[in-house]
Amino acid sequence: MAEEKTGLVQGFKEFVMRGNVIDLAVAVVVGGAFAALVKSFADNIINPIIAALGGSDEIGLGFTVNGQFVNIGAVITALLTFVITMAIVYFVFVLPMNKARALAKITPKAAETPPDVVLLTEIRDLLANQRSTFPDADGTEAPGPR
């Protein structure tokens, strides 16, 4: 049982220490801070502007049905918040990443032959040279490389 717990703890430790998990944790924290920033912008700048468009009452843009206020301004604010968030994510993260990938494709590194292929080619050439210089069992010379 103790070995199973140790294996479980070791497996969890390896999982947490992977680069992807750490990157994901950082992304969640940054995303949360970014969401708070956009929400503050929407609540303190966009909402008052939309409420001012709704008229002189303090409730904002919307209408009342059976005593319940239908807040159209909040829906518009949420939509604008979404559009602003997506625009920032696109222009700050996606677009630069796409450009970096495109640049990486334009200037690829020179393709080198892997060392194992080079070694196999040398062995093949050596065997071909050996075969052409030594006679076969019947005393005739073997033909050169095929």
**pLDDT tens profile 45-75:** 877 777 777 665 556 677 788 888 788 888 8
pLDDT band per the 50, 70, 90 thresholds, residue 135: low
Instruction: Over range 131-146, report the average pLDDT.
Output: 60
If asked whether residues 8 and 34 sit together in one domain, one would say yes
> What is the enclosing helix (H) or strand (E) of 76?
helix 72-89
If asked whether residues 117 and 62 sit together in one domain, one would say no
107/112: higher pLDDT = 112
If asked whether residues 57 and 92 sit together in one domain, one would say yes
Q: What percentage of the chain carries pLDDT values higher than 70?
A: 73
Burial pattern 76-107, b for ≥16 Cβ within 10 A else e, equals: bbeebbeeebeeeeeeeeeeeeeeeeeeeeee
Q: Is the pLDDT of residue 10 over 60?
A: yes
If asked whether residues 100 and 126 sit together in one domain, one would say no
What's the pLDDT at 81?
Answer: 82
If asked whether residues 100 and 125 sit together in one domain, one would say no
If asked whether residues 41 and 97 sit together in one domain, one would say yes
If asked whether residues 129 and 116 sit together in one domain, one would say yes
If asked whether residues 29 and 64 sit together in one domain, one would say yes
If asked whether residues 79 and 16 sit together in one domain, one would say yes
Q: What percentage of the chain carries pLDDT values higher than 90?
A: 5
| Enclosing domain of residue 91 | 2-108
What's the pLDDT at 53?
Answer: 73
What's the pLDDT at 22?
Answer: 67
If asked whether residues 75 and 91 sit together in one domain, one would say yes
If asked whether residues 116 and 103 sit together in one domain, one would say no
